[in-house]
Amino acid sequence: MSQPKIRTARTPLDPLPRMPINPAWIREGSPVARGTILLQSDDKRVSSGFWECSEGKFEWQFAWDEFIRVIEGQVEIREEGGDSYVLGPGDTAHFPLGLKAHWHVTKPIKKFFVIRTPEPLNL
């Protein structure tokens, strides 16, 4: 049996590739989202990377558990029928699988994320 190995990745310096928001989810503006997955677990159910988005309003239905740390920018997030939160640099959050949230990116945002998917995420 082989020993587990540490995986590493460098923070991307070039612009991130486009990762469009579902057009049906956009409520205001023309938010442009970019992102990349840098690392995955062997079973491809845990992934991490970076995501950024320009100003705008959209809803998001989480098809996975997601943990984030905001690197720059600001976003106001309102849970469907629930509380609202303002997140900025240094803030962390967990978005549970199945959550529907309304995002208002007020300053271009960049976040580091870790997601856990119910099924393997094949890239």
pLDDT of residue 90: 98
CA 6 to chain centre: 23
The structural domains of the chain, with segments of one domain joined by +, span 26-116
Cβ pair 50, 112 in contact under 8 A:
yes
How many other CB atoms are found less than 10 A from the CB of residue 56? 19
Residues ≥6 apart with Cβ < 8 Å to 57: 26, 27, 28, 29, 31, 102, 103, 104, 105
pLDDT in tens, 34-63: 999 999 999 999 999 999 999 999 999 999
- Answer yes or no: is pLDDT of 4 > 90: no
Please state which CATH number belongs to domain 26-116.
2.60.120.10
pLDDT in tens, 71-121: 999 999 999 999 999 999 999 999 999 999 999 999 999 999 999 999 999
